[in-house]
Structure 1
Amino acid sequence: MTVFRQVRATPNLLTMVRLFALPFLVIEILDNHWKMAFLLLWIAGTSDAFDGIAARRLGQATRLGQYLDPIADKLLLSTLFMVLTHVGLIPRYVTVLVFSRDLGILLICTLLYVTNVLRDFPPSWLGKWNTAVQIVVVLTIMTGQVVHIPGLERAVWLLLRFIAVLAPMSAAQYAWITMRKVQTQGSEIAASAP
């Protein structure tokens, strides 16, 4: 499938909707237009849910989509963490831990990919939990700006503390899994050498 046809595939168009909505979402948050920001967040979230469904149902899974979807997800979450930190709704130390984890993983994966040491980087189970909790905390914070729900601030506080523990733990697990893969691959290459 050509690059142009991959770009035009329905799942990839939905992913691009998510990317297109992001700057407007940031602007609405910075301007304290929480209802519009909340609406844009739901549009982005819905596009994320439907792009996977569309890829499976329409048989339009593409190589571009395999890279574009996780990039869009990570860009959305990371940007929201930064903006929500800027407006004082997420403590700086939590965002620093989240970004340090993501940057460390990105650098290690890039280095291993470029040097042809390793090409497959599936997420770890702690990494999946980390992402899920980040999504829940962003949704909870944004919900709290639109609707007053008793106990929501306490829930956000607990979720943020959980992320502060989970982010470094998931980074350590990912590093351990990757190191083991590299060692196993090195052992297999050494064993097959004449």
Structure 2
Amino acid sequence: MNLANKITIVRILFIPLFIMLFPIYPDWLIEKSTLVQHLQSYGIYYASIVFILASITDKLDGYIARKYNQITNLGKLLDPLADKLLVTSALILLVNQHFIYAWIAFVMIGREVVITYIRVVASSHKIALQADRFGKIKMVLQVVAIAAVMLKNRPFSYFTQVPIDQILMYAAVIVTLYSGYNYIKNNYRILKFDS
């Protein structure tokens, strides 16, 4: 396994840590542990740091794969899977804490389910589909929007009362829908196999 793929695996391993730091602890546990009380108050910030670090590794593994010619079919499958797991985990936790509406998560996760299905079908025919330009823009926008929502509109709230975090989230929904449409349109012929 090459370095780029190892970094992708590290991103996947960040996900359980992100979930554990996110403050969703039951009351009985909060009352019994000072550590959990601390995490209940500040865990969202720790979780945000882990989320951002994990997201940065997405750029790092892609850079290494291209620079050192380490692009593999495994990497083409693992990299988007790691992104989907990270973003999906964050969206579910944000809905659980009422930071975003459930329909936002439904749209974003639904898009990922459809695209993953297309990739699985392509993979069964020995075709590895890569993310396109709009898919990459979508990922960056989702990461920025999720981080801003987790940080409760910081640092934007220091300069303006405009809910930039929510605006970013709605923009991410629009780009998510468009990127899904564009991906299906561009790969339709590839996936139209003879029965």
TM-score range, shorter chain: 0.7 to 0.9
State how far apart, in whole Å, the 1-side matches of 2:189 and 2:70 are.
Answer: 34
Contact 2:77 2:128 in 1 (8 A): no
Contact 2:153 2:164 in 1 (8 A): no
Counterpart amino acid of residue 5 in structure 2 = N
State how far apart, in whole Å, the 2-side matches of 1:88 and 1:153 are.
Answer: 19
Residue-pair matches, total: 176
Q: TM-score, normalised by structure 2?
A: 0.73
Counterpart amino acid of residue 10 in structure 2 = V
- Quote the residue 1:28 is aligned against: 21
State how far apart, in whole Å, the 2-side matches of 1:14 and 1:181 are.
Answer: 30
- Quote the residue 1:44 is aligned against: 54
State how far apart, in whole Å, the 2-side matches of 1:84 and 1:151 are.
Answer: 23
Contact 1:34 1:146 in 2 (8 A): no
Contact 1:12 1:51 in 2 (8 A): yes
Q: What is the correspondence of 1:12-23 to structure 2 with a 5 Å cutoff? A: 12-23=5-16
- Quote the residue 1:189 is aligned against: none
- Quote the residue 2:179 is aligned against: 170
| Identity among equivalent pairs (%) | 22
Q: What is the correspondence of 1:146-165 to structure 2 with a 5 Å cutoff? A: 149-151=158-160, 154-165=163-174
Residues 63, 108 of structure 1: alpha-carbon distance in 2 compared, 3 angstrom cutoff: closer
- Corresponding residue to 2:99 among 89, 92, 101: 89
State how far apart, in whole Å, the 2-side matches of 1:152 and 1:74 are.
Answer: 31
Which protein is bigger by CA-based radius of gyration? 1
Q: CA RMSD in A?
A: 2.8
State how far apart, in whole Å, the 2-side matches of 1:70 and 1:101 are.
Answer: 13
Contact 2:76 2:130 in 1 (8 A): no
State how far apart, in whole Å, the 1-side matches of 2:99 and 2:17 are.
Answer: 19
The answer for unaligned runs of 5 or more in structure 2 is: 25-39
